[in-house]
Structure 1
Amino acid sequence: MTPLTIEGFRYQTLPGERDVDINVAVAGFGPAVVLLHGFPQTHYMWRHVARELVERHTVIVPDLRGYGESSKPGASSAETYAKRTMARDVVRVAHALGHERFGLVGHDRGALVGVRAGLDHPRTVRYLGILDVLPTLDTWAVLQGVNAKVAWHLYLMAQPAGLPERMIAAVAPEFFASFLDAWDTDGSTFTPEVRQHYIDSSVAAVASIVADYRATASIDLEMDQADRDAGRQLGMPVGVISQDWGSQLGFDAASLWEAWARDLTYQPIDAGHFMAEEQPSEIARFISDLAARADN
């Protein structure tokens, strides 16, 4: 199946960390902003938002390593899909495009990469936008009891290599489609073509997607804990926009993020998990407001 591309964007392949090739879409002029996608999606999830931002920004939209048209290296070590490594991919791509500093906005998995980039590269990331996720350390801390069933896939993909990959591969189209359907509030967010694109792209990336999630239960968790123990925080302006799923699971998402960010705004939104596609104008405004904060 031919990959979907964002209209008006030029595409190129740029080197990431450790000989990984990153598929990148670029358009626009002005200060750079990098948009990172979530699961089970590709860079194409940003198509609507990206087109709204190009008049005021250089918009850089990569496929994360292990997803879409980017390289899918085998997980030779825990570092292969550590968010630290994935963050270095992003920094290298932006620098290759001539942007030493940039804004960074991520959804879901991409937001976890963004948090790590902000912690590891504080002079490079001008501002950080986060869509509908918690930091790794807090995610595992708040998942308790029966309520944790909403994140059953985290536990499956955290298991040692081998069995999770085989189990998912056996029913891969149904597995990935289940998230698209369950997290789409009214079933109208995706056209059949877009839905199939996400399923096909994910089916082709079972091993790397599992490795990405497995890292979140091991090396990424360890890095977050080390930062918490050292009192490290995100120093740039940080904006979080999220569903109110914290009330269902029994935690206050805003207060959890306040422990990580000195300059935080938290904004609830009446939307589903795939909010960048469901309410793109609202997300574009969120990003523009965050960029304006960084300029002041």
Structure 2
Amino acid sequence: MGALQEAMREAAASGIRFGFAETNGLRMHYARKGHGKTLVLLHGWPEFWIVYRPLLERLEDEFDVIVPDLRGFGFTGKPFAGPDPHADANTHARDIAGLLDALGIASTGIVGGDLGAYVLQAFARHYPQRLERAFFFCTPYPGIGTRYGAPGHLIEVWYQYFQQLPWAAELIGASRQTCKLYLSHFLNHWSGDAPDVFANMLEIYTDMFMQNDNIQGGFDWYLSSAPDRRRWLEGTLAKPPVIDAPSRFLWGWHDPLIKPDWSDKLGDYFSNYSIGFADAGHFVHYEAPDLCASEIRSFFAAPSRHPPLAPLDRGPDAIVPVHAAMPQSQP
């Protein structure tokens, strides 16, 4: 049995449910556990639902926690083979809105980091009445501006250009070892060069990215966001509308990719926010789950900024047996 299959079976045995929902032309996979207020967690790259398992286990007593695999990732996969230049933040936000529709959820709190933070910002701007509160980890946002492309920082963002190349996925996926080596660089370096953080997860991640065209699926985000990223680095990106949803930010002091001092312009883009810092790297949610769970509980305990919405007509919650979400055995 592969590492991913074993992790899925173990998760199911712990009470995590797995389902699929039709949304925006996509069959989206999600993990779900708990009871209470609905809370949606959005992962980044190179991740999938399992990166939030520590938070699922810590929040289940107070929240109905839903963790989708984003478009191109995990068991959600891609709508078609090959590069997809339309997997931008707005498309991802529509995917999440469709997931909420499919599950009969009118509004919710959302947590996002890395790519998930981009998606959460797009969701906040397009669906403000469906977002109760927003919680961000290590967040890329327009206020970072040209600092992201400064000469001293290019060593950290080279991969965002490499992953747009038409043969990048084929090269990284040439063998299990090449995929594992590539993923291990980011998992280790972004977590403060502490390789023990993801030591027990690397085989699981490699299993996942070696199937379902997931290497290309993860790269599609960088291809799709390239035009806006270019304008961002040139300083010509139009300023987006300010986000009014109550927002909380938790930044890792040791994040080499999105530096904590770059949080200095948040007030230009968020009208109602607070910020905290953690002794962690880029993967705050995985490196410091106890702290993150405590922060999330405190932040989402506050009343919603919206009056209650009428519940959507709810079809059956498409929970599927765990074996339906299993990959084929790796050779």
Q: 2:181 matched to 1:174?
A: yes
Higher percent of residues as helix: 1
Question: Hey, what's the Cα distance between the residues in 1 that align with 2:240 and 2:271?
Answer: 12
Aligned length: 290
- Of 179-188 and 212-221, more deviation after overlay is shown by 212-221
* TM-score, normalised with respect to structure 1: 0.87
Q: Which residue is 2:320 aligned to? A: none
Cα deviation, 1:125-161, whole Å, max 9, x if unaligned, reads: 11111111312673665321132211111121244xx
Greater relative contact order (Cα < 8 A, sep 6+): 2
Choose which of 166, 181, 197 in structure 2 pairs with 1:189.
197
Instruction: Return closer, same or farther for 1:250/1:72 CA change in 2, 3 Å cut-off.
Output: closer
Q: Deviations over 1:182-211 (max 9, x none)?
A: 22332222343x221112212331111111
> Shift in Å at residue 219 of structure 1?
5.4
SS state at 2:276 partner: strand
**Superposition RMSD in Å:** 2.8
Contact 1:165 1:207 in 2 (8 A): yes
Verify the 8 A CA contact 2:180 2:202 in the aligned structure 1: no
Asked if 1:288 corresponds to 2:288, the answer is no
C-alpha distance in structure 2 between counterparts of 1:248 and 1:64, whole Å = 21
- Residues 72 and 208, structure 1, Cα contact 8 Å, conserved in 2: yes
Closer/same/farther in 2, CA of residues 97 and 156 from structure 1, 3 Å limit: same
What residue is the counterpart of 2:92 in the other structure? Answer: 86
2:167 maps to 1:163: yes
Counterpart of 1:129? 135
Q: 2:243 aligns with which of 234, 237, 249?
A: 234
Please tell me the residue identity of whatever aligns with 2:79. P
Q: Does the C-alpha gap of structure 1 residues 77 and 154 become closer, same or farther in structure 2, counting only changes over 3 Å?
A: closer
Percent identical: 22
- Which runs of structure 2 are paired with 1:191-210 in the superposition (5 Å)? 191-192=199-200, 194-204=201-211, 205-210=214-219
Structure 1 unaligned spans of 5+: none
Does the CA-based 8 Å contact 1:29-1:55 persist in structure 2? yes
Residues 127 and 236 of structure 1 are in contact (CA less than 8 Å); yes or no, is this contact kept in structure 2? yes
The 3-state SS of whatever aligns with 2:139 is: coil
Is the Cα contact below 8 Å between 1:104 and 1:114 reproduced in 2? yes
Change (3 A) 1:222 1:99: farther
Distance 1:59 1:89 in 2: 17
